[in-house]
Structure 1
C-alpha cells in the first residue's frame, strides 16, 4: 500500500520560472554597483564610512532604478548586519513595533540590524518620530530610500540623525556597461543595430532596472536580422518620462526653464519647456509661469514681453493643444532673447519692505484732499502745487511722509527700453533738485 501512495499525479516538482534578468544581475559587492562612484569610491561618503568602520544611519535619495535597495543590502553584508526590508507603503505602526522588538532581541544576542525602509517619505511626521529612540539606542541602523527631496518630506529630527546620500541617474555610459553585463549573462548580443541600441539606452531614461526589463523584452523576440531604430520603436512603447507634476521633478524643471529664459538661452528654454509638456504638464500652468517670467526678469526693459505672453496665453485658450502650445513656445523664445531687467521687480520689493518698516506714517498734508472745513483748518492740501501749472509740468514737491529720507527704489539699467526710462529718471531727479534747492 505504501508504494501506491508514494507518488501521486501532481506531486512532480513544479518547474520554477527563470529569475528576472534584473534579479540575476543584482550586484553581489559594492564594487559591482554601476553609476554611483561618487559615493562608493574610497573618497566618497559611503566609501569613507566603510573604511573607518563607522557606518551611520542614511537616507538614500535618488530616482528609481539607480541601486538604492542594492546598496542598502550590500552595506548590511559589508558590516555583517542583519538586513531587514520594509516598505512605508505597506507598513503600519503594529508592523513597525514587531520590527523593533525583533531588532531588540537580535541586539541582546549580539547581532545588529540594518533596517531598510523603502519610500520612507510615505511615513507621516509622527511615524518618522517613532524611529528616533531606536536609532539613538542602537537598536537599528536606519537606511531610508526616497525619490523625493528629504528636506521637504522628512522631519528635521530624523534628518539630524541620518546622513543624506544623493544617488544619480545612470548616464548613457553607465547604461551601456549594464547592457554589456546583460549580454554576458544571456550569452548573446542584443539583436539591434548601433543606432537602435542607442535608442534603447535612451528609452531607459537613466533607470537601470528599466533597461534590464527592456532588454528582456528585446531578447525574447525572434528576428532574422538586427532591428534598426524605427523597427525597435514599433515594437517597444517609449517609456513615459519620470515626471511628478506635484513633486520635485515639477519644481526642478520649472526652475530650469525659468533660469534658461533668464540666461537668454532660447534652445535650453525650449528644451525644458518641451520636457514639461512631454511629462504631461498643464500648458496653462506654463502660460502663467512664462508670463510671470516676463514681469520678473524682462520687466520694463521690453514692455512688449508681457503683452506677448498674454497674447500667447489667449491663443492657447482659443486653439487648445497641441496647436496652442506653439504660441507658448514662441513666447518662450521671445522672452529668452529679450533684454533682461529685474529693476522693476527689485523696486517693488524694496518699496514693500520700506512700507513695512515705516508703519503708518501719514502722507504730507500738502498732497491730501480737504473736503471739509475742519480739514482745511488742519492744513490739508495747503501749499499743493498743481504739476500741470508748473514749468515743464513738474513741481518737484515731496510726496513721501514728513521726516522720511527720500529713498531710491527704481534704478533702471542701460538695457532695452529702460535706457529711455533711465534718462527720464535722471531728468526728473535733476529738476527735483533744482526746484527744491531753489
Structure 2
C-alpha cells in the first residue's frame, strides 16, 4: 500500500485529479474526462462553486425542476425543486392541481424559536449553581449585545436562557438551554457565536463567585452548539374539502376514498415500518425545496425525524380526519430555514429559486416547504390506495431505463408510446426494446 498523501488540500484541482487518477482510477482517461466535463466554462462561476467546500474536483449536478399551480394561502406559486428521483415533481404538481380547485393549501407558522446549548460540568452544590445563574443571567445577555444588536433591530435575538440540571443522566452535567429567534436567517453562526460568548462569561464569572469553593469555581465547558432539533419552530400545512368533492375517480366516491385514506394514515401512525417510508415521501417534497433554496437539508431531516419520535414512538407526521362531512389532511413539522446568509446570496440557482418564490421571508419559506411535503405525501397515499405506487412511478422511471440501455431517440419515442397503455417494468421495457432492435 502506498503512503498517505500529504498536503492534498494545497494541490491545484488538476493535481488533485491527477493524484486521484494515479492512485484509484488506474489512469482512466475517460474518468478524468467525466470529472472535467462537469466543470463550468465560466471561470468565475466555477471558482465560486470550488469555494463552497474543500478539495473540490468537479461539480455534482441534480435536476432543477418546477412544480406549478400551488395555491398557498390564496397566492399562486410555482415551487422550484432540486431532486433526482423520478415522479416526485410530477406527483407534487398533480397534488397542487388537485387541491387548487378545492381551496388550495393553508399554511401557518406557529413558532420561530430555535435552540442552542452550552454543555458543561460542575462539581458542586446544585443550589449554589442556581443562585449563581440568577446573578449571571443579566451579564450573559449584556455580553452578547454586540452580536445580537443587528438581529434585535430585525425583531430577533435571544429569547431566553435556562439552567438545566442533567446530573440524573450524567454525573455533574448541566446545560445552559437557550432560545433564539433568528428572523430570516437560518442562524447557525449567530447562535453558535452567542453560545461561545455565554460559555466564556460562565467560566470567567464562576471564578469570581464568592459562594463557590475552589473546586466549584472550576467549571468545565464541554461544548457550545446549536441544536438541529427545533420542536418550537413549527409550521402547519393543511388542506380540506367536503367529502363529495374529494374523489376524482369515477369508480370511487368521496366517502370510500376518505375511508381508505384515513386507514392508510392510521397505519402510518401505528406501524413504524410504514411510518418511515411514509415520512420519507414527505421528505421527498421537503428536501427538494430546501436544497433548491440553499438550506441545510441534513439538519432539516434530522430535526423532522426526531420530531416524528417525540412521544417515544416513531410515527406519521401527517394526519387526517373526517368531521361533519369535511375531509381534513394536515401536518406540523419543525423547520429552521433561512432566506438570507449562507448560499442564498452566493449560488446563482439558489438566488433564482428564491426569486421564483417571490423573495419569501423565512416564515414564508417554511410554509412553502411544508406545503410541498404535504402535497407529496397526499399524492403518494392517493396512489397507494387507488392505482398503486408503481404505475405512476415506473412510467416516470421509464426514461432512466431507456438511458441505461442507450436507447436512440427513435427507440425512446416508440417505447414511450407503447407504454402509454401498458404496465412498465424493467423486464418489459428491455423485452420491448430488444423486439424493436430485432425488427
Q: Into which bin does the TM-score normalised by the smaller protein fall?
A: under 0.3
Larger Rg over CA atoms: 1
TM-score w.r.t. the length of structure 1 is 0.24
| Structure of greater relative contact order (alpha carbons < 8 Å, 6+ residues apart) | 2
Q: Which has the higher strand share?
A: 2
Q: Which has the higher helix share?
A: 1
TM-score w.r.t. the length of structure 2 is 0.24
